[in-house]
Structure 1
């Protein structure tokens, strides 16, 4: 499990109403196989997706693609707009960077003319795309993995992964409850790191004796680690990505720093790549809090079964968030009067709201809509849990405590936001 990814992560694996952004302007309609502008009268629909296919966030992007593909298969089996209508997704690479993400979004919106796109993994990438491309363009944007609290200030930027605000508070309480009153924090220098570290620092009951950023993609972080080791902190909190955590864990182990302090992390330090590239024992005892999915929910269990059957690997919640983003997009297409950004923006929140009838798949939701139901009659319960997009475009959150034991991730108690 990993998240708010700003630019990296683990195993194969980012606006409705009167937001003043997404519903303004005219979206260019995609070419279709029929002359009808009604969403129910087309035989094909193309939306976009900006994902981290390369760069430091590529491990997360890989699992996103798998979640996307499973959702697409289920949607197209049921048909969109009609029994045989098909959904296509054009995928562009953010390269795990803000500028490349903006370029990818511009291509989807301005050249391909998509009225809706999913993206991105990194919070900074999602925000940059929204500020530069989506806002005012009459296009809907749904981030699949971004968790920075900064997204909440942009109500037109929707997301299926919860805000990191609750996670930052939960981390602060968790580390305090573990008996620590002095903590050293290093955070990746972007919207994800600054947002999460800020919430943590405001919430921690003890002293944050070190609280400094680090850049991505460095070959060494010895300077940061040396500063942390010079403090009286009994806990070190790493708010960073898989590649950076791997370098830090190896250097800290070489220097023996790991024997004198307790390590903690958030979702983005849960990555099989980290364990695969660090020595046995270098991370044992590390703990943290990560986003989670409802393990006892039937549709999540079905998702896990399909994922394991297709990829011979257990999915993380991040693939589930991507699955839900695609499904919500498809339900919005089914519910909208026409295939435009403005029309999709009018209904995209409604199909997730708790006032409607709970549905656990696209097919169930589409059935209600085809029987004359309104968008607000549908309450899509995602494979990642309840979506219920609020006025800020945020879903509720479910978190879980994790630890590293015998160089393996183990999971414990749940925490709700």
Structure 2
């Protein structure tokens, strides 16, 4: 998607979601931290679209605690310091729940603020394993699976393809470093050798020197854990100077993004590769989400994090209903409970789920992304799918794989 389209869409979304104007006293605010500018803008805008859709659906059925929801987004530009500032701005608006941030580094920074303010922070896309053990006092949750699962799956698939020497190129920060370390441990345990862990510098116009260094270890395959802008430059440099090496590439979930395809070029993905990402479930809630998203935005939702952002809004709304008040500490106590061990309800059954809660019954929210069963660490466990890029489009090779 081109920058001009980003700008136009951003203006449309933020006119209804940004806050800062007059807000009716009976409106219940929920905060989001999605990058709508910067290197992760395409994913952030897509997540904001999905969250906005969920809010509109909930409001159409009566809102939360008898009040309409208002979504207030703060753009962190995929930057941890901005993520911390965004969380502080939302806390000052007295929101009981914040959905976000988009990336793990920004989420960790934001969690320092939300923890101290006793506000729930529910990320729909931050997968770094360090979030599981973060010092968050129980206020940090996520609707996407941890990279502990993804690293294990990639290691298993590399071994199954008879690769014994694999290098990792990764983005700096919690996401890239955490994934690289976990993959090294998993692949080594299976009998493989990691020939190098190469951290790239963001914002470079060439990664030829990095690739030259990586190839000194003679890897049979390379795992690339990063974001579309720099990852696409790495692949373009590979195509221009290293294609003769015939390397197999593994891509992680953050590269399951049309921006990655566009930046490399649709005709560029003729080399051997595959990617992994949270599996899209072909369930009634998923199909209903796709229909509603298409009707609202005139396009298909193609990013897995769209469904997890959508589900995060519904989980937060149901936890608020269960709490009976818009207090972060009360929401924290009910968020896990509404996600599991009760009567199943999907997004289209939101009003019935609310009635069940008010009748003192246990509910189990089943989302568009699948079961969203939060564990004691605030994590979910879900299968992955395996994808590749063919003819300029994402193609699912295996729809559901459990590490």
What residue in structure 2 maps to residue 339 of structure 1?
326
What residue in structure 2 maps to residue 274 of structure 1?
260
Q: 1:365 aligns with which of 318, 335, 353?
A: 353
Map 1:15-414; keep pairs closer than 5 Å.
33=25, 43-81=26-64, 85-110=67-92, 112-131=93-112, 133-154=113-134, 155-204=138-187, 205=190, 206-257=192-243, 259-284=245-270, 285-295=272-282, 297-315=283-301, 316-353=303-340, 355-361=341-347, 362-370=350-358, 372-374=359-361, 377-413=362-398, 414=400
C-alpha distance in structure 1 between counterparts of 2:298 and 2:161, whole Å: 36
Q: Which string of whole-angstrom CA distances, capped at 9 and with x for unpartnered residues, describes residues 80-114 of structure 1?
A: 345x621111111111100011111101102x111
C-alpha distance in structure 2 between counterparts of 1:150 and 1:50, whole Å: 19
TM-score, with length taken from structure 2: 0.88
Q: Secondary structure in 1 aligned to 2:126? A: coil
C-alpha distance in structure 2 between counterparts of 1:134 and 1:77, whole Å: 29
Q: Which string of whole-angstrom CA distances, capped at 9 and with x for unpartnered residues, describes residues 330-389 of structure 1?
A: 111111132211221221111101x1100002223112123x124xx0100011011111
Q: Secondary structure in 1 aligned to 2:388? A: strand
State the shift of 1:65 in Å.
1.0
C-alpha distance in structure 1 between counterparts of 2:355 and 2:245, whole Å: 58
State the shift of 1:311 in Å.
2.0
Instruction: Output the aligned Cα RMSD.
Output: 1.8
Q: Secondary structure in 2 aligned to 1:314? A: coil
State the shift of 1:258 in Å.
6.0
Q: Secondary structure in 2 aligned to 1:294? A: coil
Return the structure number with greater helix share: 2
C-alpha distance in structure 2 between counterparts of 1:231 and 1:214, whole Å: 16
Checking the alignment, whether the CA contact within 8 Å between 1:80 and 1:333 is kept in structure 2 is no
C-alpha distance in structure 1 between counterparts of 2:140 and 2:161, whole Å: 36
Give the structure, 1 or 2, with the largest relative contact order (CA under 8 Å, sep 6 or more): 1
State the shift of 1:281 in Å.
4.2
Q: Which string of whole-angstrom CA distances, capped at 9 and with x for unpartnered residues, describes residues 168-187 of structure 1?
A: 00000001101111111111
C-alpha distance in structure 1 between counterparts of 2:378 and 2:264, whole Å: 38
Checking the alignment, whether the CA contact within 8 Å between 1:187 and 1:240 is kept in structure 2 is yes
State the shift of 1:254 in Å.
1.1
C-alpha distance in structure 2 between counterparts of 1:319 and 1:309, whole Å: 15
C-alpha distance in structure 2 between counterparts of 1:57 and 1:363, whole Å: 34
C-alpha distance in structure 2 between counterparts of 1:307 and 1:184, whole Å: 39
User: 5+ residue gaps in structure 2?
Assistant: 1-8, 11-22
TM-score, with length taken from structure 1: 0.85
C-alpha distance in structure 2 between counterparts of 1:339 and 1:275, whole Å: 42
C-alpha distance in structure 2 between counterparts of 1:129 and 1:277, whole Å: 30
Q: Secondary structure in 1 aligned to 2:268? A: coil
Checking the alignment, whether the CA contact within 8 Å between 1:291 and 1:397 is kept in structure 2 is yes
C-alpha distance in structure 2 between counterparts of 1:345 and 1:51, whole Å: 21
Q: Secondary structure in 2 aligned to 1:277? A: helix
Number of residue pairs matched by the alignment: 372
User: 5+ residue gaps in structure 1?
Assistant: 1-11, 14-30, 34-42
C-alpha distance in structure 1 between counterparts of 2:397 and 2:280, whole Å: 13
